[in-house]
Copies of this chain bind each other. A is one copy, B any other.
């Protein structure tokens, strides 16, 4: 089993680059093309492919359509992924309206909030009371949730949805969460991302 997160992230990037190349009319691709496209080395592309059991043709490179097929299968994109958003504040609402997930086979099917003012059952993506989250998640077999609640509420909300059957949480709360049982948490911390960027901008300024 592959545990290298960066490796999986590269796989996603390869896939995205391949779609762009395909749209431009390319049918096959070489490891160095792909390396260029995602900003890596040709060696690493081939190494990654080898890890995933993807093979090409000596001197002939890789067929883009068959590459995409394999990658999509590895990434679990052969079936629509239904996702819920917990927290309908600025970030949560923006994610519910964001169209970028559709082309990736990811569909946000509902949002949840404790604030009655945020409830709206007739939205394209309905926003429901948090109390309904458990039954909704269970009856729809949802496994993935996006958590976009204020940090104070984050752990409690995480516990709730984990107990409801959620297996993976993309956490936007600026706070590390404890995940009980078999629930995986990936953090997207915008403050930290910006801080990080600021740090590297500062140090490169200084050393210049």
Contacts and interface: CB of A to CB of B under 8 A. Distances in A.
Interface of A: 1-2, 5, 8-9, 12-13, 16-17, 37-39, 74-77, 81, 83, 90-91, 93-95, 97-98, 100-101, 104, 106, 143-144, 146, 167-170, 174-176, 182, 184, 186, 188-205, 207-208
Contact of A170 (B144, B146, B176, B194): B194
A198 B170 CA distance: 10
Contact of A198 (B5, B81, B95, B198): B81
A199 B75 contact: yes
16 contacts: A2-B203, A9-B192, A12-B192, A12-B196, A16-B192, A75-B199, A76-B202, A83-B194, A94-B94, A98-B190, A100-B191, A144-B194, A144-B197, A169-B197, A184-B200, A188-B188
Given A90-B94, A144-B197, A188-B193, 6 more contacts: A12-B191, A38-B176, A75-B199, A106-B191, A169-B197, A186-B196
Contacts of A174: 16, 100
A199 B8 contact: yes
B95 A190 contact: yes
- List of 3 A-B pairs having minimum Cβ-Cβ separation, nearest first: A94-B94, A168-B201, A90-B94
Contacts of A205: 167
A194 B8 contact: no
